[in-house]
Every structure is written in structure tokens, then in C-alpha cells.
Amino acid sequence: MKRAKQTSESIELGILLALSGGFMDAYSYLARGQVFANAQTGNMLLFGVNLARGQFQHALHYLCPVLAFGLGVFLAEFVHFQKIQKVHWRQVTLLIEIIILFGVGYISFEQNLLANSLTSFVCGLQVQAFRKIHGKGYATTMCIGNLRTGTHEMCNYLCTKKVQHLQSGLLYYSIILTFIIGAILGNFCIQIFSAKAIWISISLLILAFILMFVDREKDEAFQ
């Protein structure tokens, strides 16, 4: 498979972001009271269940991350519309993610609602800013869309024998695998670093930020 025309669509960047995405979801679920940072469908489900049971305070722990995720999407798109000259707008979203997650590492376990909301906000930023890999739509913070598209491509390959469908399907499955590896890494790091384990995710985002300086001219043309 040829190298992506823009660094923001490269496999290397996709791997770093998917690792970070899996890590963040494991962190919020395992260390912060079993709330999803990325899987907002799960949060909506648990919000509805707790609401039906009259557990309104517990329901709030699932509603706030959903709202924060939406705000993250909004901010990413807002940044996109700004006329930023010195860095790519996607790098700005990565810087915001890094700063917020650094703060999350200092939030105590008594303030999990705040920590989860901020982490979901970061996930909203990421899923909106990075939506393509080699020109194809994908997500680095959730797997359902990648699973659907990857399986669709594999079916097309079996029916048409066109190798590009096989390559595309394997690409989507590799992103899913990377997400899972990120979750596994998150599980081990939480046991060692506790609340500050989220800083491992920051290191992945810093690498992604640096990588985006590669082929700078091409990135600047991708507005």
C-alpha cells in the first residue's frame, strides 16, 4: 500500500491515535468508575438504565461524558475553521488533548465525573479531527464503524478478488487490533501508575504531534 498523501491520513499516525484511543477507554472504565471515554453508545445505554431505576446521581456519571464528547467534536470543528498559519489545525487539537489529559492525571478518584468528562472531551476532539486513513473514513476512538467497513471490504474481496479490497479490509482490522493493544497497555499501566497512567496516552499523542511535521507542505494543503 502506498504512503498516504497527507501525514494526517498515514498508517503510522492512525496506529498512534488508535493506541491512545484504546488506552483512554481502558483508563476511564477500569480506573474511573466503569464509564466509557469513547463508547458513548454504552454511556447512553447506562444513562437510560440508571434513569429508569431512579438512580439519578449515578445516571449523571454517564450523561456528562456524552455531553463532553459532543463539545469536543464542536471544538475540533471550530478550530478547523480558524485561520491558523504556523501549525496545522489538527496539531492544535492534539495540543489541547495533551494539556487536558495532563490535568486529568492530577484529578483524584473522588472526582471521577470530572476526569471522565474531560477524557471524553478529548476523545470527541480526536474522533472529529482525524477521520481518514489513506483517504478512507475510520475512527481511532471506537471500533464499530471500523469493524463494519473492514468486514464490508473483506466481503468485496471474496466476491471480486480485487486486492485493494483485501488491503483495505486488513487496514481496518489492524486499526481494531491496535485499539485492543492500547486497552491492554492501559490495563497494565493503571496497575502501576494509578491515576497518572493517562500520561502514557499523552506520550502517544506527543509522538503523533511530532509525526505531523513530516511532509509539512502536504499537510498544509489538506485543509
How far is Cα 75 from Cα 31, in angstroms, rounded to an integer? 26
Give the confidence band of 123 by pLDDT, cuts at 50, 70, 90: very high
How far is Cα 164 from Cα 168, in angstroms, rounded to an integer? 6
- Mean per-residue pLDDT of the chain: 89
pLDDT at 11: 87
pLDDT at 139: 82
How far is Cα 197 from Cα 186, in angstroms, rounded to an integer? 7
What's the length of the chain? 223
Q: What is the pLDDT of residues 5-54, one digit of tens each?
A: 566 778 889 999 999 999 999 999 999 999 999 889 999 999 999 999 99
Q: What is the pLDDT of residues 50-77, one digit of tens each?
A: 999 999 999 999 999 999 999 999 999 9
Burial of 34 (0-12, 13-18, 19+ CB in 10 A): middle
- Percentage of the chain modeled with pLDDT above 90: 74
Give the confidence band of 208 by pLDDT, cuts at 50, 70, 90: very high
pLDDT at 143: 85
How far is Cα 121 from Cα 67, in angstroms, rounded to an integer? 8
Q: What is the pLDDT of residues 145-165, one digit of tens each?
A: 899 999 999 999 999 999 999
Pick from 36, 16, 18: nearest CA to 26: 36
Q: Above 80 in pLDDT, residue 4?
A: no
Mean of the pLDDT values across residues 198-213? 92
Q: What are phi and psi of 137, to 5 degrees?
A: -65, 135
| Contact present, 91 and 212 (Cβ < 8 Å) | yes
Q: Above 60 in pLDDT, residue 223?
A: no
Q: Above 70 in pLDDT, residue 218?
A: no
Q: Which range, 3-7, 85-89, 137-141, 157-161, has the best average confidence (pLDDT)? A: 157-161
Mean of the pLDDT values across residues 206-221? 70
Pairing, β 136-137 against β 132-133: antiparallel
- Percentage of the chain modeled with pLDDT above 70: 92
Give the confidence band of 188 by pLDDT, cuts at 50, 70, 90: very high
